[in-house]
Amino acid sequence: MGPAGTDSVRLVEHRAGRVRLYLNPACAGDVSVQALVDLPGALAGLPGRATRQRGRVTSWRWQPDWAPPEGLAVRLYAHGGLLGPALGTGFLGAGRMLRELRLAIAAHARGVPTAEPVGVRVQCVCGPWVRAHYVSRIVPGALDMLSLLRSAPEDAPLSPPERRRLAHAAAAAVAALHEAGIRHGDLSLANLLVQGSMDAPRVFVIDFDKASEPGVVSWRARIGNLLRLNRSVLKWPAARSALGPRTRLRFLRAYARECRTGSAEAWFRVARRCDR
């Protein structure tokens, strides 16, 4: 039987006019409710980063007085894909945001290495339409794996031992996610954070938007996540060069050891697909 479902995860709720805050109970006593209500004004003066839509800033590093030294990460929910520019940042209801928050809280509580969620700010725009921000604590000193690989100097690539340690750390993080009964919705290099030196790296899984909680992650769902991550590696030249077939095979072997699932023949078939 899988872990208890996220429906049982209770949130601390605050209301202020057209704004509703849904907070992680573990963090609720440490936050300023008024600062979260006034969040858009605070973000207006901060540099941000465009993540889902070209030309639209949707993520920020926020450092209010009451936050931990590393600060908070803020993400504005925005539609992606072909309809993204038309749909923008408006959503019908807050169900999607609350599912992500509850999943992230459950994952953190179950020992999955991930950024600790703080809460979600939801503002009614018109009728059932809302805009929402997701707030989490920043993992100190961490960089997403794609940025890490793309920033590595060409004359100083990762050494074979460093690649091996990185593969093992990533495998441990993904295995912990699956063993906690959670399937990721977009497992990619951009959603894996690397903390520490390459002598002893730690990897964190982030972004539970569109993730699901089947309780027990099936073999097929696991493979789907792993192949999605492999496509992310092959998509970017820097990642493809640094994480070659041998490193990706090490990742699969380490994942299989962590999960102790699947036959040798099944993993061989997965390895063949990842090598394409």
Q: Could you report the per-residue pLDDT of 74-106, keeping only the tens digit for each? A: 999 998 777 667 678 989 999 999 999 999 999
pLDDT at 215: 86
Strand spans (E) along the chain: 12-16, 19-23, 48-50, 57-62, 72-76, 91-92, 117-126, 129-137, 142-144, 192-195, 202-205
Q: Are residues 11 and 128 in the same domain?
A: yes
Q: Are residues 232 and 253 in the same domain?
A: yes
- Domain end marker among 111, 137, 163: 137
Q: Are residues 194 and 265 in the same domain?
A: yes
pLDDT at 86: 67
Q: What is the mean pLDDT of residues 186-190?
A: 96
- Quick one: which of 200, 176, 174, 175 has its CA closest to 189? 174
Q: Are residues 217 and 164 in the same domain?
A: yes
Q: Could you report the per-residue pLDDT of 245-256, keeping only the tens digit for each? A: 999 999 999 999
| Domain ranges, residue 243 | 142-274
Q: How many domains does the chain have?
A: 2
Confidence (pTM): 0.91
Residue 1 placed within a domain: no
Q: Are residues 157 and 204 in the same domain?
A: yes
Q: Are residues 51 and 147 in the same domain?
A: no
- Domain end marker among 137, 172, 203: 137
- Domain end marker among 137, 169, 203: 137
Instruction: State both tokens at 72.
Output: 């908070």
Compute the distance between CA of residue 251 and CA of residue 124 in angstroms, rounded to an integer: 44
Q: Are residues 112 and 147 in the same domain?
A: no
Q: Are residues 109 and 11 in the same domain?
A: yes
